[in-house]
């Protein structure tokens, strides 16, 4: 936030830089002590791993680019089939009102139902 206001607080924006010559020398000595005679083999397998990783990343980038190019095509140039328009007409059963008059229940029938419950 201090950088937004134009005030410097003494901390650089990028604290960790790439290692200098001294750091590279120390890393090389540690690698030589750890791996010794196997160091060329380890470096070769590390290089192969990095190459495979780059191939995988480029494959993913190609897929994203092709998906993006397909999505940005005009609507008329897609090979999608046209939707069907000959649908069957669906109908629900129709309501038919009762043909007779409603029957009134007698109070005795209601009392009989309450005693049974």
Q: What is the pTM of this model?
A: 0.38
Cα 111 from chain centroid (whole Å): 65
Domain boundaries, the chain: 37-70
Q: Distances in Å between the alpha carbon of 27 and those of 8, 35, 48, 108, 112?
A: 33, 12, 20, 102, 98
Cα 49 to Cα 40: distance, rounded to the nearest angstrom: 14
* Average pLDDT, 10 consecutive residues per value, the chain (117 residues): 50 67 91 86 91 94 87 64 73 81 71 55
Q: How many C-beta neighbours within 10 Å does residue 35 have?
A: 13
């Amino acid at each position: 936030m201090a950088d937004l206001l134009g005030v410097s607080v003494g901390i650089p924006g990028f604290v960790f830089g790439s290692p200098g010559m001294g750091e590279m020398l120390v890393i090389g000595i540690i690698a030589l002590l750890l791996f010794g005679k196997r160091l060329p083999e380890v470096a070769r397998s590390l290089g192969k791993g990095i190459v495979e990783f780059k191939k995988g990343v480029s494959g993913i980038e190609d897929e994203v680019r092709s998906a993006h190019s397909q999505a940005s095509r005009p609507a008329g140039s897609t090979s999608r089939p046209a939707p069907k328009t000959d649908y069957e007409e669906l109908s629900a059963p129709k309501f038919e009102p009762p043909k007779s008059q409603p029957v009134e229940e007698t109070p005795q029938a209601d009392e009989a139902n309450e005693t049974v419950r």
